[in-house]
Amino acid sequence: MSTDPATIAYYQAAAPRYTLSFGQAPSRHLDCFLDRLEPGARVLELGCGAGRDSARILERGFDLDATDGTPAMAAKARERWDIPARVMRFEDLDAIGAYDAVWAHACLLHVARRDLPSVLSAIHRALRPGGWHFANYKLGEGPDPQEGRDPLGRLTNLPTADWLDNVYRGAGFAVEHTERYRGEGADGVVRDWYALTARRR
């Protein structure tokens, strides 16, 4: 398994303008997720981007390990928010029982479907028993949606909600909360998204 090279190349090249296209407000799902955690909990952030969610996690007093698979994005987080972000791709996650929560906003949607079960298993291993995980995905359309390239050339897995629920349960998670909503991605396409909050059993 390896992170899609074209997707990494896109973010590497687009980091300067990409980070300016988003406001400074964190994800609307973040505070509700953080409310589930104990004070000072250890949080792993996957795909931290320019660090807007990272800054909020730190502001709320959590112990953050911010990571991104793209060196330019990790550099932006350090530059813009003074976040000590490190470069780590999904396939390099090898921690065992090290975190109370894993936050993965709008990043696991770039994992090929065939590889998502192993990534989720790695997240499960990285969590302490009872640990929390959040991720959101762009949903595919039609009875049998196919993953593919978005208008920006990024790999997008485009699953169904039922498929995601089953894959999470297969990786050892209890799915505690889901939300389906309309949203616009960086590619300008408005579609259904699926936010999923799960807990390590």
SS3 of residue 28 by DSSP:
coil
Pairing of strands 86-87, 63-68: parallel
Q: For residues 47 and 106, what is the distance between their CA atoms, to the nearest angstrom?
A: 8
* Containing structural domain, residue 74: 5-200
25 falls in which pLDDT band (50, 70, 90)? confident
Domains of the chain: total: 1
Residue 80, number of CB atoms within 10 A of its CB: 17
Q: For residues 68 and 36, what is the distance between their CA atoms, to the nearest angstrom?
A: 24
Residues 6+ apart with CB under 8 A from 111: 3, 90, 119, 157
Write out pLDDT tens, residues 49-63. 999 999 999 999 999
Q: For residues 7 and 22, what is the distance between their CA atoms, to the nearest angstrom?
A: 19
SS3 of residue 5 by DSSP:
helix
Write out pLDDT tens, residues 135-177. 999 999 887 889 999 999 999 999 999 999 999 999 999 999 9
181 and 195 Cβ atoms separated by less than 8 Å:
yes
CATH number at residue 170: 3.40.50.150
Q: What is the mean pLDDT of the chain?
A: 94
19 falls in which pLDDT band (50, 70, 90)? low
